[in-house]
A and B are shown apart, each in its own frame.
Chain A
C-alpha cells in the first residue's frame, strides 16, 4: 500500500494546496463560534445593536470564505484522486501487457482483471477519502484544540481527561471488531463457495439425490455467518452511543467547571458557548478519524494486490542488443543444408511449482514446406511445446531456435511477426469480422481478408450475415458459435502469411466435413510455410511429413505414420484406441 502512495508524488503541489485550503477552511469554521461569543458578550449583554450587525456581517463573510476554500479543496482533491487512479490503472495495464504467460498463470487472468479494475477503484476511493476526511479530521482536531485552549486554557483541562477516554472507547471496540470482521469475510466466502458449488454441480447433486445434504451444508454456513455478523453488529452497536455519551458528559463537565469560572469572573458566557461548540466539533472530527480505520484495511488489501502486480518483473524480456545477422537472409540463400525454420535442442521446461517437467529433453527440426504434427494425450505437453515457439514461455534447459536463431536473442515483436498462431480456444475481439481478421495484418486489403476467410471456410457464414464482413463481434465473440470462432481465428492467421503456422488443436469445434475441407484448402495455400499441428485424432495427423509423439513430456517417437506404427509403442496405443484393428494398416 505504502508503495502505491508513491504515485501521489507528482501531485505534491496540488495536495499541499488541498491541505492549506482545508486548514484555512476549518480555521474559518472554527472562527465562527468566537465571533458568536463576541456577539453575546459585547453585543447582546451590552445591548449594542450596531456591534451585533457588524459582527454578523463578518460571520457571513467568514462563512462564504469557508465554503469557497472548501470547494476549491474539493476541486483539487477530486482531480488528484481521479488522476492518481488514471495513472495507476495505466501503469498496471501497461505492466500486465509485458507479462509472459507464466506471470498470467501465476496471478490467474480473472484475478489480474480484478486487480486492474476493482482494486484500483478501491484504492482511488481511499485516496479520495484521504484527501477529504483524513486531512480535514486531524486539522479540525488540532484547530479545535487550539481554539479551545485559546478561549480558556484552564477549562481545556477537561479535554485531558476526555480525549483519552474517547480513544480508549474507540480502540477497545475496534480491537474486538476488526478480528471479527475478518472472520466474517471468511464466512461470507465460505457461503458463496458452497453456493457456487451447488450451482455448478446441480446435476450431480440432484442425480446423487444429495439435495438434503447440500441444504444442511448451506444452512450450517448460513447460520454460522449470521451468528458472526450479529456478533459484529452488536459490538458495533455500542460505538456511536458510547462516543456520544462521552461527548455529552464532557459538555456537562464543561458547563459545570465553566460555570464556576464564570462565577469567579475569569470567563465570559459567550466564551463558554463557543467552547462547547469547539469541543463538539473536535469530538466529531475524532469520530470521523475512527471511521477511517475501517476503510484503510480494505483498501490496503487492494493496494497490496496491485503492488504485487507492479512489483512482478516480467520474466521474458527482449535482448539488450538485437542480433545483427539477419536470419531470413541466411535462410533464403541456397544453402545445401538449409537451416531448419524451427528447431528444438534438448528442451526441458517445467511450469513453476510443478514436480515433474512438462517437457523433457525434446529435440526436433521442422523445415520450410513441412507439416509437423504433434500427438499425445492431454498433459503430454503438446500445447506447451508449441507455446515455446512464440516464446510465451522460456525454456529451462536447451534452446528453441527459429530461423536458426535462439528465440531469446530475437526481439519478441519480430519473432512473433513470423508466426501465425491459432490457439486451442479461439479468441476474438470486439469489432467487425474484418477488423478481427485484420488483427493478423493491419494493412491487408479487402480481397486478402476475403481470401483468408474463404480458405478458413468462414466466407459462407460471413456472407450469410446481413452485414457481411462488417458484422460486429461482441466481447469475447459471444455472438458467434465455437466453430465459427475457430474459423475466424484461422483466417486471422492465414491473412498474416507467416513463415510458421501453429495450429494448437484448432479444429476441434469444427464438424468433420468442414474440418476436411478446411485442411484441403489450407494445404494448397501454405505450401511454403512451416506448419505445426497439435492434434488429438490420428486421422488428422497421419499424412503429416513428420509426427512427434509425446508421452508425459518426452518424445516417444518421431517419424511418419507408417514408421511410427512399426517402431513406436505409444503411437500404436493411441491408434488402436481410436481405430479398430482392420483400419490401422
Chain B
C-alpha cells in the first residue's frame, strides 16, 4: 500500500513514445528543481564519455534542420521558373517553361530532402545509444550507491519512495535525453534559421511576421498561467479522491461491517464533482493553446498572402517568395509553442535528476577497516561493552549497555512487541554503528572485521521471512554460494522442510511468486531456517514467531530451531517459556533498551519488570476473564 501511495497518480510508466510526449501541457505544474544550474551541469557531465557522439548529434541536428530550412528557398525557384515561363509563354505562342532548370532545382531539392532525412535519422539513431547508455550507467551508479548506504537510510524512508525515484525519475530522464534534447536544438536552430531566411527574402514581410510574435508570447503565457490554477485544483482534487478511494478500499471490511457505504459514496461524489469541475477546465484552457496558436499562424499566413501579393504587384518580390514565406511563417510559430513545453519538460527532468543526485550524495557506510580481519575459527563469544546508541540524536535509546556472552550460550530476549529487539540485531551485525563503546566477537572489535565476514558469522531467522522470486532450491541455496545439491537437500531435511517441498507440484524447482504467497507463512519460515542451516553460522539470531504458524508446523519449526541452535551462540527473541527458562541469559527489553538482565531465577527474585511480565503473561490467569 505504501508503495502505491509513494508512486502517486502519475506513476504509470510511460512507454517511450515515438514522437514527443503529449503529457505535459502548458501550465501543468511540474516539479521545479532547487538548483537548476548545478544539477544541469552535473547531468551534462554524464555525457562526457559520449562527447564525440554528442557533438555528432549536435552537428546532425543542425545540418538536418538547416537543410530543411533551405528547401523552401530552393523550391521557390521552381515556382519562379514556372511563373516566368508562363509569362514568357503568354507573350510567345509556345510554352516557355524552362524544364531543364526546374529539373535541376527539383534534383537539388531532392538531395536536400534526402540529406535532411538522413541526418535526422542518424542523429536520432546515435542519440538512442547515448541516451540509453547514460541512463544505464546512472541506474547502475544509483544501485551501487544503494549497496553502500547504511541501513539507516532504508529504515528512514518507505521502499515506495526509493522505488518511485528509480522508476519515474529514470523514465523521465530517459525520455528527455531521447527526445527533448534534440527537439530543443532543432527548435532553436529552426527559429534562428527561419528568421535569417525570411530576412533574406524580404525584411518588410519579416517585420510583418514578427508582429505576430508578441501575440504568440502573450497567448502562451496567459494560457499557461490560467491553466496552472486549474491544474493545481485538479491535482488537489485527484489527491483527495485517490486518498479516499485508497482508504475506503483498504478498510472495505470495516466499511461493510459498520454500514458506512452510503457515507463513503457521498464523500466520493463530492470529491469526484470537484475533480470534474477543475479537470475539464484545466483540459479546456490548456488545450486552447493549439487553436489559438493555429489562429496566430493563420493570421501571419493571411498577412503574408495579402501584403506579399501587394509587394509582388509592386515588383519588390516574386510569387516564389510568397510561397517560401508561407512555409517559413508556418515553421516560425512552431518552435515557440514547442519551446514553452520543452522548458517545462526540462524543468521536471532536472528535478528528477536532482532527486537522483540527492540519493547519490547520501552519506555512505563507514568504510572498511584498513586491514580488515577475518576470524579463522570463529567460536561465538560476544561482548557488548559500554555501548551507547540512539537512532534519533535527540532521543537517547541505549546507554551504557554491557552484555557478555560465551560461545554456545543461549540468550533470550523478552519484552512487549516493538520493544526494540531489532536494534540489537542492527548493532550486532553492524547495520548501524554504535555511538560509543564497542562490540566484539571472539575478542575482536567488530569494526575491525570485514563487514561481509562479520555478517556471515550470523544466521538470522526472523519473522519477516525474505524470499525472492525464484525456485525454492535457489532460495535455500542463497545461504551459501557453491552449495551442492546434496547439501541443499540435507539442509532442507534438517529444517523439516523437505517433506512439504516434495509435496509441491515441482518440488525443489517450484517457483515462488513475487510475494511468495504460493506457500504458507510457516513453510516460508521453514525455508528460511533451511537457508540458515546451510549457511552454517556461528551465531544465531532467531525469532520464535508463533503467531503465523499452525500448531503442527510450529512443532516442526521448534524442532528445527532447536537443532540449529545446538553448539551455537543464539540470541532468541523468545515467546516460549521453556526457551526463556532454559536460557543462559535473559535480556528484558522495553522501549528499545535493555532494562534487566540475568537468569530466570535471578530476575524473578528481583521482582521487577520481568517478574511482572512473567506473572501476567504466563502464570496468573486473573484479568483474563471476559
Contact = CB atoms under 8 A, between A and B. Distances in A.
A299 B56 CA distance: 37
B159 interface: yes
Ranked nearest first, the 5 interchain pairs of A and B with the lowest CB-CB distance are A516-B623, A377-B550, A56-B306, A233-B128, A237-B124
Interface in B73-112: 75, 78-79, 81-83, 85-86, 89, 95, 97, 99, 102-103, 106, 109-110
Contact of B139 (A35, A113, A129, A222): A222
B576 to A, nearest CB: 7
Given A208-B456, A237-B124, 7 more contacts: A32-B301, A45-B319, A66-B291, A82-B280, A377-B549, A413-B259, A520-B623
A90 B621 contact: no
28 contacts: A78-B280, A81-B280, A81-B283, A82-B276, A93-B248, A93-B268, A116-B245, A128-B283, A198-B143, A199-B146, A201-B466, A203-B429, A203-B431, A234-B128, A241-B121, A260-B99, A269-B86, A273-B319, A378-B521, A379-B550, A439-B258, A516-B623, A519-B623, A523-B625, A539-B617, A540-B624, A578-B618, A583-B618
Contact of A78 (B13, B79, B265, B284): B284
A27 B553 CA distance: 76
A6 interface: no
Contact of A229 (B120, B132, B253, B261): B132
A513 interface: yes
Given A264-B95, A439-B258, A241 B124 contact: yes
Contact of B577 (A47, A55, A67, A578): A578
A32 B302 CA distance: 8
B394 interface: no
Contacts of A239: 18-19
Interface string A47-70: 101001101100110011011001
A245 B114 contact: yes
Interface in A180-212: 181, 184-185, 188, 192-193, 195-204, 206-211
Q: Is the interface of B mostly helix, strand, loop or mixed?
A: helix
Contacts of B248: 93, 97
B269 A90 contact: yes
Interface string B211-253: 0000000000000000000000000001001110111111111
B78 A255 contact: yes
A45 to B, nearest CB: 8
B621 A542 contact: yes
Interface in B144-169: 144, 146-147, 151, 154, 159, 162-163, 166-167
Contacts of A252: 106, 109-110, 113
Interface residues of B, number: 172
Interface residues of A, number: 178
B605 interface: no
A110 B102 CA distance: 66
B459 to A, nearest CB: 8
B602 interface: no
B246 A475 contact: yes
A181 B16 CA distance: 8
A185 B12 CA distance: 11
Contact of B117 (A96, A242, A476): A242
A264 B71 CA distance: 26
A201 to B, nearest CB: 4
Contact of A40 (B78, B143, B309): B309
B179 to A, nearest CB: 9
A357 interface: no
Contacts of A32: 298, 301-302
A223 interface: yes
A132 interface: yes
Interface in B324-352: 326
Among A109, A113, A213, chain B packs the most CB atoms within 10 A around the CB of: A113
